[in-house]
Every structure is written in C-alpha cells, then in structure tokens.
Amino acid sequence: EIVMTQSPATLSVSPGERATLSCRASQSVSSNLAWYQQKPGQAPRLLIYGASTRATGIPARFSGSGSGTEFTLTISSLQSEDFAVYYCQQYNNWPPLYTFGQGTKLEIK
C-alpha cells in the first residue's frame, strides 16, 4: 500500500497570504495525485487532479505541482472560505487501491 504523508498537520496563515501544503508518497505515483478540500460537516470537494489540473469551477488561486513522490498545493491569496482541511490522494495502483493523506488543517492566523 502506498502511504501518503501530508505536512504540516496544521498551517496557520493570514487572509491574503500564500499557503503551501505538502504531500509525500512512499513510492512514486507519477502524476496520479488529487487534492480535496473539506469543510466541517461537508463532503470533500475535488480541487486538483493529475497533480496540477484544476477541477471544474475551482478558482485559479489554487494550483498543484509535483510528480513522483513530492507534491505541493499552493493557494496564492487566501480567502476566508479557503480555511478548511485539505487531503491529497493517490490513484496510481493497479489493481486500484486509492490512499489518502491524513490531512492538513489550514486555519486563520
């Protein structure tokens, strides 16, 4: 099983500033990585797939980068609605065994 490790566990950032979230895979997942945003009491929402492709309707301030084992989600200028928990997920296995990181909580500084 591919283990996904996210850092930091909690990130405190002021509105308007940039946030950088990291995700590391225990082995290469190529670009088969997605990012999700989850707000309290809500389901996760797809932000990024293919490591860097924004999903439909996702603002341009969200960007993803990386390949292999190291990935980054960047939010360029934090808005109030961006404070949430973010998960990365790999989907590189065949047969499929999707695994998620443990999440990064992005909180207001």
Partner 1 sequence: QVQLQESGPGLVKPSQTLSLTCTVSGGSISSGGYYWSWIRQHPGKGLEWIGYIYYSGSTYYNPSLKSRVTISVDTSKNQFSLKLSSVTAADTAVYYCARDLRGWLGPWGQGTLVTVSS
**Which residues bind to partner 1, rule: CB under 8 A?**
32, 34, 36, 42-46, 49-50, 55, 87, 89, 91-92, 95-103
- For the chain, the distance separating the N- and C-terminal CA atoms, rounded to the nearest angstrom, is 35
When the beta carbons of 47 and 75 are compared against partner 1, the nearer one is 47
| Residue with smaller CB distance to partner 1, 14 or 101 | 101
Report yes or no: 106 and 45 within 8 Å, Cβ to Cβ.
Answer: no
Instruction: Please say which residue, 22 or 100, places its beta carbon nearer to partner 1.
Output: 100
Q: Give the number of C-alpha atoms closer than 13 A to the C-alpha of residue 16, restricted to the C-beta side.
A: 0
Peptide bond into 96 cis (omega under 30): no
In angstroms, give the least distance from the CB of 44 to partner 1. 6
